[in-house]
Structure formats: C-alpha cells, structure tokens
Structure 1
C-alpha cells in the first residue's frame, strides 16, 4: 500500500488550486481549453495560473523566511494589498538586520 506524501509546495494550496492543477494537466496545459472549461477569458485563466505560480514560489521561500512567506501569501490571496505587504516585509527586514 503506497504512502501518501504531500509535497511541501502543495501544503498551502486550496482545494480549488489542486482542482485547477488537475484540470490543467488533463488539458495538456492549454490555457485556451482551461478558459473554455471555466467559461472565462484567456487572460482570466492566465491571471489565475500566475497567482498559483506565486503561491508555489512563496511556499518554496517559506523555508528561508516563514514570516515573509506568510506576508506574501496574504497578499497573493488578497487578504492584504501589495503595498502593505511591501511595508511589512521592509520593516521586518530592518528589524532583523538591526538585531544581528
């Protein structure tokens, strides 16, 4: 019986994200086909894919700086705006550099 191991980059993805990835694979990565399946425009699907890529990249960064990854994740998920995220990250970096 195989052991299910979830890759680190998938842990912070929503169920919707996992479904999107599955559909994307099943249509061989065709954004045009994804737009048809979701009944949206190509740019809308492209934006969704870009956000998903950002989430995965942030997960990769989380190993180095968990706080910064959290702030980036909040911004990508539109819980805070990007300007606020930049300020928080900047202040965090200043505080940590001064402490060293």
Structure 2
C-alpha cells in the first residue's frame, strides 16, 4: 500500500496514537489488558481511546465537507491538478483541525 492509499483518518493520528491502536488490536480490544500493559487505570485508557475516536471521527466528518468535495470534483474534471487539490485539502484540514483543538 502506498501513501496515497492510506486513509486520511490514519494519517491524522500521530505515532503515539497509532501505537495505542496497534496495542488495542493486539490485546483483542481489551481495555483492561491495555491498562495493565501501560501500567495505568482502566478510566485512563478509556479517556485515551475516546480521544483517538474523536480524532478519527473529526477527520471522517471533515472529508464530507463541501469544500473538500468541491476541490476533489475540480481535480476529477481536470480543472486543477491532483497535487494542487491535495495541497488545498491538506491545508484546509490542518487549519480546521487546529481550530477545533
């Protein structure tokens, strides 16, 4: 899989979040197991997973925004090139994400 095929929600997660998701999967989704492995309480793990969920949901919702759809349509119609479309979308996303934090 090349970088262009990686879902945007995955790219929105930092390395710490990705490591947490990996450990979550390895532990078969057991928050108790993750809490034990990290040496923290269950509520602490629950808060962490809720934050990761929020990041993913925010990015998924962002993909549905009209401006992003419009820019993608412009690229499909060859009215702008793909690289410019990606650049506009990434800039828009980064500004929206920083405004929501």
Give the structure-2-normalised TM-score.
0.63
Shift of 1:69: 4.3
Report the secondary structure of 2:29's partner residue.
Answer: coil
CA distance in 1, matches of 2:17, 2:2: 22
What does residue 89 of structure 1 align with? none
Gaps spanning 5+ residues in structure 2: where?
A: 68-92
1:13–1:56 CA distance, 2 compared to 1 (3 A): same
Shift of 1:8: 1.2
Report the secondary structure of 1:13's partner residue.
Answer: coil
What does residue 15 of structure 2 align with? 15
RMSD of the alignment, in Å?
A: 1.8
1:3–1:69 CA distance, 2 compared to 1 (3 A): closer
CA distance in 2, matches of 1:70, 1:12: 12
Report the secondary structure of 1:19's partner residue.
Answer: helix
Aligned pairs, number: 72
Gaps spanning 5+ residues in structure 1: where?
A: 75-100
Matches within 5 A, 1:1-100: 2-3=1-2, 5-63=5-63, 64=65, 66=93, 68-72=96-100, 74=101
